[in-house]
Amino acid sequence: MEAVNYLDVPGARICYEVRGNGPVLVLAGSPMDAPSFAALAELMADEHTVVTLDPRGVSRSTVTDPEQDTTPELRADDVVAILDALGADTADFLGSSGGAVTGLALAERHPGRLRVLVAHEPPLLELLPDAAEQRAATQHIIDTFHREGAGAAMAAFMANAGYDLDQMEMVMGDPEEKSPEDQAREEAEAARFYNHELRGTVSHRPDLRAVAAGAARVVVGIGEESGPLVTHRTSTVLAEQLGVEPAVFPGEHVGFVTHPGDFAQTLRKVLAG
């Protein structure tokens, strides 16, 4: 059973959950929230104190200034504040997607706090040879949000990520009836993502020497089914630039959701080295 906690940090109030006992393991996404990692967290809690969190501005984590950009650096500082609250000098860290960018920023900004950093499919678009085209695609997604709303923007986002139409329908699911409160919350979170988070995440350029020096070990994770996705490309380039062999995880970009058991087995092996 997870314990739900709240922590006040500069500019935000962060909600995080803690399960299990043992060495601290943080599971983080962005904009994915703590419940997205619940199945994996339960499986890892037999050997770890597992921390999951809602990134600032997402779900139960609130921000003081809705117009402040949510950067990988701010999210990294939030994770370190949680570690401090737990009295944990170091932790292992699995970050997926934007959460992997958070982990890279954490290793760079707070050297010595991470034992093993597993960066699972970070969307580091600036590492790609077609970075200029990717910048234009990101701007198109944001413009689509302003012109046509969150649904059209998500469709553009998924298409640029490399999903085909059938995959997009599977990931996005069928429209469902939502309460006015849920609709308002989702609209606010979409506005925050497209206006204040997306660009800062995909444009992040980590100092890879500092990243390598800041964590005891850095692992780049790639989903075995992620071949068509842009995050397969970014992860491959990141691994090459770090001089490490990628670790192959089950599933694709959200394999921790679709294949939690197999994902947990792979993660245990990766953490054990």
Alpha-carbon torsion angle 103, 5, 200, 206, nearest 10: -20
- From 162, 135, 136, 171, select the one nearest 233 (Cα to Cα): 162
At 172 the pLDDT is 46
At 103 the pLDDT is 98
The pTM of the full predicted model, rounded to 2 decimals, is 0.95
At 17 the pLDDT is 98
User: Tens-of-pLDDT digits for all 273 residues of the chain?
Assistant: 789 999 999 999 999 999 999 999 999 999 999 999 999 999 999 999 999 999 999 999 999 999 999 999 999 999 999 999 999 999 999 999 999 999 999 999 999 999 999 999 999 999 999 999 999 999 999 999 999 999 999 999 999 999 986 655 544 445 556 678 777 778 888 999 999 999 999 999 999 999 999 999 999 999 999 999 999 999 999 999 999 999 999 999 999 999 999 999 999 999 999
Strands 215-223, 3-9: parallel, antiparallel or unpaired by DSSP? Answer: unpaired
At 169 the pLDDT is 54
At 87 the pLDDT is 98
| CATH no. for 3-129+203-272 | 3.40.50.1820
- From 81, 104, 83, select the one nearest 30 (Cα to Cα): 104
Residues with Cβ within 8 Å of residue 92, at least 6 apart in sequence: 23, 24, 25, 26, 48, 114, 115, 116, 117, 118, 271
Domain ranges of the chain: 3-129+203-272, 131-198
Fill in the amino acid letter for 140.
Answer: H
Coil, strand or helix at 175? coil
